[in-house]
Each structure stands twice: as structure tokens, then as C-alpha cells.
Structure 1
């Protein structure tokens, strides 16, 4: 029954998207019928995200809008507009830009249908969350060239948590909770009722560590299996999940830090993208003050004077360069 409901919900969602595309195509045809100068563009913007995009800037280097871009593009929908050279103008094209903003996202859509030369288009996005990508198609021809811009969300992996003991970010999506440096050497042999076991080895700590213990939000990271290279310069990709301690660590240098499971960290095959702040506002459901530890290479939450427990520095806690990146994680 549950599968039937999910299948029905997915069918309804697909039908809505098809209806939206049909409406957008109809609007595009109406614009094509109105364009009537030597150089013209009919543009379509597809918003395949959960954000509401609001126009924040529009400008022509050459030409005019006909009609202008929509002020708002709702989530999972599209909008269309036209651009054309001015009537009677010689040796000019249709060249312009429009910018849209959403929660933590700014998108720039540029087009160029010049008097001489090939048509071109550029889409650039700046995202504080790192969740979005784009692609662009520039149509050929002098008159009524069709341009298309698409912004879409990328899959993310959840189950990332902050450890309440060591303050590092670790993967909590499996039964094994890895190794926590703050609980190192806590494991002791106990007998019935929790008392120390007598006999050989009784009452002595067993080398090793207990697993991480979660607190706070569930965080979400995108990784190389789904997203490819980062789209802009506020993300770093060489982060990996350690196969021994399950913490996220920086894998962009020959040194692998210090792992509570012994030796350096050992990364799995995926490279994770971690956005950092570059003078931009935090998006909703985004938390900053995450830092890379210069000693163990883990990502830890910096809050207050207590800086957790580091595999390399022990009770002295994590250490970081205040001038280093201030990372911001997405949560739900």
C-alpha cells in the first residue's frame, strides 16, 4: 500500500512538471510570434529547484526586452521573455543579462545575438549552500533564436552529525559509529551488573575507542559521485569520509592527519564538497563556524572556548588558523 501511495505521488508530481513545461512552451511560442526585428532572442528559464527565484537586475547592452523577464519564477516551473534589437537600428544585436536570487543562490543569465558572429549564452551561479548547478543552450539564427537556461538541485547525502564528545563531523548512517578520540581508552571489561571483571586483564582499559555520539542537526553533503567539480570558488572538494573513524577529513595533501583508529585517516572513494563563506549571507538552514583542524585534519564545530578532543592533541582540543575558511554546512 505504501509503495502504491509513493508511486501515485510520483505520478502526480511528474504530471505537474509536464503541465508546467507545456505552459512554458506555449508562452514561448507567443513570444516568438511577437519578435519582429533583425536580431532577436526568445529565452526560457527552467527553475528545477525548491527555491522561488526573484529578479534582482536586468539590463541590455544592446536592444530591448519584449516582453520583459518574469519578476518571480516559482519552484519547479519556468519563465520566458524576449529580447530584440531596436527597430530601425543598424549593426546592433540583442545583448543583455538578467539576474535572479533565491535563498543562498544568485543566478546570472546572459545572452548575445550579435549583428555579426555566432550566438552565445552564459549562465553563472553563486550558491552559499553548494546545492545547485546549471546548463545553458544558445540557439542559432539571427531572428527568434531560442535560448534555454536551467538551474537544478543536486542530490545530497544525509546522516552527517556532530559528535557531542569530540565535536567533529562524522557519518551516522550505519550501525557502526566509528571511533571517537574523546572516548579513547574508555572501553573496559565489565562483568555482570556492570562491575569490573576479575581475572586476567580484568579492570584494565582495552586499547581502542568507543564510537561517536550524535547531537544537534542532521547535515547534508554533496559528493563527487553526483556533482562533478564545484561550480564556483566557495567550495572545496578534497574531503573524504575516513573508513576507520567515520569522520570527515581533509584529503587534499599527502599527510592524512591523525585518526583515533590508528595512524592517519584512510579515505573512501568519494570526494565531498564542503561550502565555505566568502562574505555572503548564510542561507536558511545553514550553519557556519565549522573549521578544519590543523592537527588531525577533521572538520569540527567551533563554538566557545572548548574545542573538542583531537586525535593528535588530546585534551588540548582542535587547533585552527583563524584566517582559514569558515565552512558552512546545510542542515534540515
Structure 2
């Protein structure tokens, strides 16, 4: 079960449920931000360097999950779950997000979103500093250049209300009465675009 709605009577998802590995995914996203790019090809679930992709193929990476403790988006493709600002590792729930990467930026898709090797979260890598990491100091970028659709209608198979936090530079879900836990202190703050993330 995903978490597009915030009903108190919904059964809680199993936070340790893990989808199987997906080697190749060929489904259309139907997003304005990636219109005309053709079939989706999911690269194996690693956060390492991207392979060269043809202009007509949209590469994407699955295993990105919502953390129930900090509300951030983190990569769940390793044997551990990174570092959560609410303590210990992240706790996964909801959708398995399949994030586009290494495609051209458009007016409705922003690039420079990166994987942090320390906390496993997704953060914006477009400023002189790298925000605040829950594992200490700034985030450390690695792997793909993720390109996030924003400010478009929410198509089937996607979820809106993902926002940039100007305190930690992380991406978090802004669909609850509270804003999770920020590694820079207190709750996340909200700024910028309304990101619409595709999921499986």
C-alpha cells in the first residue's frame, strides 16, 4: 500500500516489506516532464555511476522509499538502511519509487538530485554546500544525476507532495500535518517545487 492519503484508519504498511529486484522495466511513465522519451529502462538496483543511455531511453532506478520516521526519501537497495535523523536507520513504507536519472532537465523536471553515501537519502546538489546529513556534516554525492518531475498533474502511478527542505537539502514527503525530522534540527521546512515522483 502506498501513502497518498493520510487516513488514521488505514492499516500500517509493513515497514520491512521489500520488493524483488527488477532488472529491466519497460513501462511508459506518461509524465509531461519526460514525454517523448520512450520506454523506461530500469538499471539494476545500485546507486553507482550511471551507464551511458541513448537519448530515446529513459533510465530509472527503483528501491527508493519513504521513511516513516523522518519522512525523507531514501535508497533501500543495500543491506542496511542508512542513517535517519530520527535515530538509527530509516524505516521503509509505502510505494517503491522508480526515479528517472541522467536525462535532460526541462521546465518541469529538475536535475542535480543525488544519492548520499552516508545517509542513503536523496538531496539537492545544486548549491555551494551540500546541506546537512544525519550522519554528520554535509551530504556526500555519488551515482546518478536524478531528474525529478515537478509541478505537473499527478498521473496514475505517481505521487505529488514531495518537497525540498532548505535546511538539510533533502527531499521529503509534505503530505502530513507534521513535516518529519530534519537533521538540521526540528522538522523539515518547505521550499520550491512540488515534485511528482513515479512509483511501481
**Normalising TM by the smaller chain, what interval?**
0.7 to 0.9
Say if 2:189 is the partner of 1:306.
no
TM-score using structure 2 length:
0.73
Tell me which residue corresponds to 1:238.
112
Distance 1:220 1:166, change over 3 A: same
Corresponding pairs, count: 159
Q: Which has the higher helix share?
A: 1
Tell me which residue corresponds to 1:22.
none
1:129-170 Cα offsets, whole Å, 9 max, x none, are x37527xxxxxxxxxxxxxxxx95512110000001000000
Pick aligned residue for 1:261 from 131, 135, 152: 135
Pick aligned residue for 2:190 from 295, 298, 320: 320
Say if 2:153 is the partner of 1:281.
yes
Map 1:213-228 onto structure 2 (within 5 A): 213-224=91-102, 227=103
Map 1:145-294 onto structure 2 (within 5 A): 152-183=56-87, 210-224=88-102, 227=103, 229-230=104-105, 232-277=106-151, 280-294=152-166
Aligned-pair Cα RMSD in Å: 2.0
1:92-113 Cα offsets, whole Å, 9 max, x none, are xxxxxxxxxxx745xxxxxxxx
Q: Which has the higher strand share?
A: 1
> What SS class does the counterpart of residue 112 from structure 2 fall into?
strand
TM-score using structure 1 length:
0.45
Bigger RCO (CA 8 Å, 6+ sep): 2
Any unmatched runs of 5+ in structure 1?
1-48, 52-102, 106-126, 135-150, 184-209
Q: Which runs of 4 or more aligned residues in structure 1 lie more than 2 Å from their structure 2 counterparts after TM superposition?
A: none
| Matches of 2:179 and 2:159, distance apart in 1 | 17
- Tell me if the contact between 2:82 and 2:120 (Cα under 8 Å) persists in the aligned partners: yes
